Structure 1
Amino acid sequence: MQEYQLTLKDKRIVWGRAVDIESLVGKYSGDSLRRGVNTDLDWNLPAGVYRAKEVVMELDKMLEAMLIQLGEPVNGDPTVLLDSLQANLAISGRMSSLPLGPLALEDKAGSEITAQAVRIGEQLVSWAREINSGKKALAEYGPETLGKLEFRSHCYGHPLIPEAVAQVWGPYGGPKIMQIYNEYLHQFVLLRDALLPFANWEEVPFEVKEHKGFKGLRFLEPAREIFLTQLLGKNLTHKSIIRYAQSVVSSGLTEAGYGFQYHLGTVLPAGLGESARTSARYLLKWHPVQTITADETQDLAAVSFDYEYEDYYAAPRNEAGKGTPAGEYGLPISGEHYDEPSIARLLPNTGNGRTTLRFNLEMKGNEITVDLGQIFRGHRFLYRPYGNDNADAAVAKRESLSWHLAADIFSHSGLVTNTDGIHFISTGRNELVLWALLGKLYPENVVLLDKGDHKELGAAYVSGKGFGTQFLVL
């Protein structure tokens, strides 16, 4: 069995069985252009496994058909129609289908999704321009066939830039062109919105099943409506992102944990395998791995990954103790490094009708196991030092600073906290230790440092909740 692994600098995270996705993507049951019920030629995505670019390739057939039907005045030039697509996929402007820019979402989940919408929209338009430049559909079907494409698009509300209005409704356009263009725009909007939860959205495989009642990606509309209502209402949570992602990839799951496995791989929060200081906290990442392995003859099962402690507030807690006073020995130097552990394993536990994943590593001969869900929860809840003009005063106020060895924190059962004081923990610049600590510390007032110098400590003291026990992690 070939294990799947992530590499983080000189560290590794390994688990499960790697899945060969390339053999599944692009194998379709038919053609997206086929004989219609009431028309000569219709369009629909054939059943199969797609990634984003494969969908764009199939959508290009509609664009090429429009260019043929618009005739000589357009002369096959897609610029105007693609410029209007770009305006629809932008996050601001009168044509925007998802006007996140004017909302200026400041919550962490909203800001990450906003940045995603920009990235995905720009790349989809770039692919649309690139693919159309090859005129592959024209070479495959010919102008006579493309000229017969016609269908009813049951969708409203995608405005066009003035130049596109002039083309689509001009003397060579009309309702037939408008129906095709409306569907073309709508499918792109559905594609962009479907991929919003995924940091590696270009790689995510999802299954499309052909429906007679609606076209292409329209099966996503009910879940999309719920998701966008939560996003625009500033009520987006990690669990709601998970639920939407499960619908997008047709997992069949109804319950949502912090991640899941479906028949084409595993989806976990995007921070895994990245730096905890810079990685997204709410986005997800798809991995080509069978986390809960099955026989070669069995299909990959859909599984939701649960937190060990569904309510972390009610989880058992133990105190870290007073530690070593910093005033007596000073803080550990910020430049120290731990060579070990160099590898972490994700180990599933499927007992009691629940599936949890454990983050397992070996440190100084001791086995350390932390719930993976709690690690991601700790990552979402952590604080970062912010600027403070009076750092010296802040340091003077915090005389109860002590430091702890990471190994001592791991020696306690349950989640680790303290009744009072400021507690410094060095990870030795080992990202595996850092991630494990985020799952071990009670996630209430944990501040992640970059340098641990005098200025940053001063800023850290006034970060977080501003009161109560505080853990500073470097």
Structure 2
Amino acid sequence: MSNYRLTVGEYSLNWGTPIRLDPAPAAGNALTRQPGGEWDWDLPEGVYLARDLVRELAVLLDSVVEQLGGAAGYEPLLDNVKASLALSGRESVLQLDSLRLADPARTELAGQARRIGDTLARWAGEQAGEGPRADKAILGRVRFRSRCDHHLWTPLVTDILTGPSGGPSVMQLFNEYLHQLVLLRDLLLPYENWQEVPIGIERRGKGKGLRYTEQARAAFLAEFLMSRPSHLSLLGYAQSGLAPELSAPGYGFQYRYGTILPASLGRHPADSRRFLLGWYPVRTVPHTVDVGASAVFDYVYPDYYSAPRSHADAGAAAGRTHEGDLRGIREALLEVTPAEGETGRVQIHYRLQIGSQAYRVDLGQLLRGHRYLYLAGPNQPSEEGTRLTAAAVLAQPGLVHTGSGTHHISAGNNPLVVWALLGKLYPENVILLHGEVNEKLQGAGGSGKGFGAKFVIF
């Protein structure tokens, strides 16, 4: 079978084995009859997308409406759902709008929370419009004790749930429905393409539905609310929801239903988000005997401060190339090797061919370099600098650094070459110019840290 191809415009990144995943309806029923004649609820085991889970959770809301006698209908309850998933307001569970989020990481995640919450609320309304998913006689006898009693209700819903048709059982059912939707939204926060992420539900003995994510969710949101979350903590949170069996996080991972890596790989480095993750339909570790096995992707340099370094000027004369040679490159490859002395952990190298020479950089360092990258500002004159070729930089061992001055590196305006350079340059003061570049490299002079040595890629 051919490699998976991640295509961005006319360029592609190739690796692993593509997988085809078509989540089927879960085998089993969400409602099970208890000895006393009442019915209990839980998510059936299976593989779900976000919309599938909203559909399965709808039976809880159906039960609430049925046990209220149907008089109130769905509308006021759905208004409460929307208010709970919003980022502001009395009923909001995650009130991010009240925070001043100046850092890019939390800004990206807050934007995701808003988009996901709005969509889940809309889907809940569409599902309600399709009518109940179970027999009304069964819905009227759904009972279980929800451990979630901290959700706030709108005044109208409070009157409905505490009125003559309400009662403790109905209150708990509605609280559980709200809580499961909130858990679903927060489980999907790390992913740019969150609607495509397959979620495997198993009986883990850690509560109903998505409650197995509660502990990791609480820890991650505590860090998020107090400070900018690290990439490592975001990966740890992602693993806890999709592959809790995995060991300490790296910069990505493979699980039974695909590969999780930063979403930036699917775009030009200048245009992509830096902190969100993406789900890719590929088995990255093809040598695994068990096709369902998971693996963590490790950095070659876990601590890049202590990584071996080469000085930029040391290879200035090496690897002479013309920009035309770089512009003609159309693909790069990812190559997997087991991490030395580690089981279930691998390292991935990004391989780029320039002419007859192949160059390799650590994929983890490449993605780290992107997170630390500066983009050039508009119309700011750049100081004169030393010219280096991409091949000269990529040929050197370790990470390339410079003690002083400005170094200009032409990537031929090719994103594949830009990615490779981001994996090779020490990620301290690296600036990218995107688009038309004149001879004076305007736009780079006032970018970056504003002081010290720098690399300018164009």
Q: Normalised by the size of structure 2, how large is the TM-score?
A: 0.92
* Equivalences for residues 81-120 of structure 1 within 5 A: 81-120=77-116
Aligned-pair distance for 1:119?
A: 0.9
Any idea what SS the aligned residue of 1:98 has? coil
Picking from 36, 44, 47, the partner of 1:46 is: 44
Aligned residue for 1:255, secondary structure, equals coil
Instruction: State the alpha-carbon separation in 1 of the partners of residues 280 and 450 from structure 2.
Output: 38
- 2:30 and 2:56 in contact (8 A); partners too: yes
Q: Is 1:337–1:429's contact at 8 Å kept on the other side of the alignment?
A: no
* Structure 2 residue aligned with 1:378: 369
Query: Cα offset for 1:129?
Result: 1.2
CA contact (8 A) 1:337 1:430 kept: no
8 Å contact 1:384–1:463 — kept in the other structure? yes
Structure 1 partner of 2:319:
none
SS of the residue 1:49 aligns to: strand
Alignment of 1:224-243 (within 5 A): 224-243=217-236
- Using the alignment, how far apart are the partners of 1:103 and 1:384 within structure 2? 26
Structure 1 residues 38 and 437 mapped into 2: Cα distance closer, same or farther (>3 Å)? farther
Identity rate of aligned residues, in percent?
42
Q: Measure the CA separation in 1 of the matches of 2:121 and 2:339.
A: 46
Structure 1 residue 167: deviation in Å?
Answer: 2.1
> Which sits farther off after the overlay, 355-364 or 161-170?
161-170
Displacement after TM superposition at 1:319 (Å) = 2.0
Partner of 1:70: 68
Q: Work out which of the residue numbers 263, 269, 274 in structure 1 matches 2:262.
A: 269
* Greater shift in the superposed pair: 151-160 or 410-419: 410-419
Match of 1:16 in 2: 16
Contact 2:334 2:351 in 1 (8 A): yes
Secondary structure of 1:286's aligned partner = strand
Structure 1 equivalent of residue 140 of structure 2:
147
CA drift at 1:254: 2.1
Task: Report SS of the residue matched to 1:268.
Answer: strand
1:72-130, Cα deviation, whole Å (9 max, x unpaired): 522xx322111111111111111111111111222222111111101110111111111
Q: Who is 1:360 aligned against?
A: 351
Equivalent residues in 2 for 1:122-141, closer than 5 Å: 122-137=118-133, 141=134
1:442 and 2:426 are equivalent in the alignment: yes
Q: 1:460 is paired with a residue of what secondary structure? A: coil
Change (3 A) 1:39 1:115: farther
1:349 paired residue number: 337
Amino acid at match of 2:361: V
Measure the CA separation in 1 of the matches of 2:61 and 2:339. Answer: 52
CA distance in 1, matches of 2:340, 2:315: 37
Amino acid across the alignment from 1:442: Y
Deviations 1:35-83 (A, max 9, x none): 1366611111012222211110111111122222222522xx3221111
Alpha-carbon distance in 2 for matches of 1:340, 1:136: 57
Worse-superposed segment, 126-135 or 373-382: 126-135
Q: Secondary structure at the match of 1:352?
A: coil
Q: Could you tell me whether the CA contact under 8 Å between 1:319 and 1:416 is conserved in 2?
A: yes
Task: Note closer, same or farther for the CA distance 1:346–1:37 as it changes in structure 2 (3 Å cut).
Answer: farther
Q: CA deviation at 1:171?
A: 2.6
Say whether 1:314 aligns with 2:306.
yes
- The equivalent of 2:117 in structure 1 is 121
Letter in 2 for 1:144: A
Q: Deviations over 1:363-392 (max 9, x none)?
A: 12211111100000000111123468xx4x
Normalised to the residue count of structure 1, the TM-score between the two structures is 0.89
Cα distance, 1:456 vs structure 2: 9.9
My pick for the range that moved more, 203-212 or 224-233, is 203-212
Moved over 4 A (4+): 452-459
The equivalent of 2:188 in structure 1 is: 195
Maintained 8 Å contact 2:105/2:228:
no
Residue 452 of structure 2: aligned partner:
468
Q: 1:185 aligns with which of 178, 191, 196?
A: 178
The answer on whether the counterparts of 2:67 and 2:140 sit within 8 Å (CA) in structure 1 is: yes
Q: Does the residue aligned with 1:466 lie in a helix, a strand or coil? A: coil
- CA offsets per residue over residues 1-34 of structure 1, 9 Å max, x none? 2421100100111111112221xx2353421011
1:208-247 superposed Cα distances (whole Å, 9 cap, x missing partner): 1225662111111111111111111114100000111111
| Paired amino acid for 1:90 | A
State the distance in 2 between where 1:211 and 1:311 align.
35
After superposition, the Cα gap between the structure-2 partners of 1:82 and 1:11, relative to the gap in structure 1 and judged at 3 Å, is: same
1:402 — aligned with what? 386
SS in 2 for 1:310: coil
Query: RMSD value over aligned CA atoms?
Result: 2.3
**Inter-partner Cα distance in structure 2 for 1:473 and 1:410:** 13
- The number of equivalent residue pairs is 450
- Counterparts of 2:70 and 2:304, CA distance in 1: 66
CA distance in 2, matches of 1:437, 1:250: 32
Q: 1:456 to 1:249 in 2, by over 3 A?
A: farther
Residues 351 and 152 from structure 1, CA distance in 2 versus in 1: closer, same or farther, beyond 3 angstroms?
A: closer
Which runs of 5 or more structure 2 residues have no equivalent in the other structure?
Answer: 317-321
Q: SS state of the match for residue 34, structure 1?
A: strand
Query: Counterparts of 1:191-230 in structure 2 under 5 Å?
Result: 191-210=184-203, 214-230=207-223
Name the CA distance, whole Å, in 2 between partners of 1:37 and 1:49: 29
Kept after mapping to 2: 8 A contact 1:34/1:42: yes
Query: In 1, Cα distance between the equivalents of 2:206 and 2:332?
Result: 48
Query: Aligned with 1:127: secondary structure?
Result: helix
